[in-house]
Structure 1
Amino acid sequence: MARHAQADAPARPAVQKVALAAAALFVLVGVLGFIPGVTAHYGQMTFAGHHSGAKLLGLFQVSVLHNLVHLLFGLVGLVAARRLAGARVFLAGGGALYLVLWLYGFAIDQESAANFVPINDADNWLHLALGFGMLATGLLLSNEVGTGSRPDTPIDRP
């Protein structure tokens, strides 16, 4: 009698579920950034730079580069979240990265060439919230990892 593979598979830990959801959200945001109507002033979108007039949901300044970064980050997250350690690294590392991006956005002049992504005030506040949320989730959600136990099962062992 054939065994059903999913019946024997353990449930995904919460940190993996959150990482998958976050990664899928980044992919969705990256795609939505290319849809006129969802992105206001779509015709003013540039490849990069602070001159892009396009705003996702009429609030977050975006460019082609900005949307591609969201797509790539989300796809990396989808792959990383397949394993417990990868999910934690995606969330905690991505959170730290977003906190650095928040500091960068806070420190630069938004009208200068340094604002190449582009980033506006709404992006900055979102980056701060994402940074803390992802970092805390990646570090605190999984109790059984990071306490001296193995962070993941090696691929060559069950």
Structure 2
Amino acid sequence: MDRLLRTRVGARDPVRRVAFAAGIVFLVVGALGFVPGVTTGWDTIEPAGHSSHAMLLGMFATSVLHNVIHLTFGVLGLVASRTARGSALFLALGGVAYLLLWAYGLATPDESALNALPVNAADDWLHLALGVAMITALLVTRRPEPRHARAAPPPPG
């Protein structure tokens, strides 16, 4: 009974729910990147690089590599959501990764050979929003340390 109760309480852990939801969103976005119509210029999609002119929702530059990264991130989010610690790690590292990707996008010209994913201005600002959202979600959903878990001062004497 105790195990069942812990499982149900753990399943309601907000950080786990956020990581799970983020994983689902990344899976959906990654899959949509392979759908003609949702991805405009589908016939121009490339495995990687700036020469891919496919645009997810007609706005976000995409390639096979870009879509596979989203799918991989989605799977990682679902796996990480199995534990609160894994979820927190996913949100923290994912948030940092997206902030680094934002900086990469700002520093890399769209038509540069260094633009391997590819990314464009819309991607850059979405990556900033994702990085901030993931880190904010972690900070908002983390649990404070329970009072009884803190070390008690040693007894006098």
TM range (shorter): 0.7 to 0.9
| Displacement after TM superposition at 1:8 (Å) | 6.8
Q: Deviation digits for residues 97-152 of structure 1, max 9, x if unmatched?
A: 100000011011211110000000000000000001101111332233599x69xx
Does structure 2 conserve the Cα–Cα contact (< 8 Å) formed by 1:92 and 1:139? Answer: no
| Displacement after TM superposition at 1:12 (Å) | 1.8
TM (norm. structure 2) is 0.86
Alpha-carbon distance in structure 2 between the residues aligned to 1:78 and 1:54? 27
Give 2:45's aligned residue: 45
Q: Rate the CA distance shift 1:145–1:63 in 2: closer, same or farther, 3 A.
A: farther
Q: Deviation digits for residues 11-40 of structure 1, max 9, x if unmatched?
A: 421111111001110000000000001101
Give 2:137's aligned residue: 137
Alpha-carbon distance in structure 1 between the residues aligned to 2:87 and 2:7? 22
Q: Which runs of 5+ in 1 are unaligned?
A: 151-158
When Rg is computed on C-alpha atoms for both structures, the one with the higher figure is 2
Q: Which runs of 4+ in 1 moved over 2 A?
A: 5-9, 143-147
Alpha-carbon distance in structure 1 between the residues aligned to 2:91 and 2:107? 24
Q: Rate the CA distance shift 1:6–1:143 in 2: closer, same or farther, 3 A.
A: closer
Between 101-110 and 7-16, report the one with greater CA deviation. 7-16
Q: Deviation digits for residues 64-88 of structure 1, max 9, x if unmatched?
A: 0000000001101100111000111
Q: Which runs of 5+ in 2 are unaligned?
A: 151-157
Alpha-carbon distance in structure 2 between the residues aligned to 1:110 and 1:8? 47
Q: Rate the CA distance shift 1:145–1:49 in 2: closer, same or farther, 3 A.
A: farther
Give 1:9's aligned residue: 8
TM (norm. structure 1) is 0.85
Between 6-15 and 20-29, report the one with greater CA deviation. 6-15
Name the structure with the higher helix share: 2
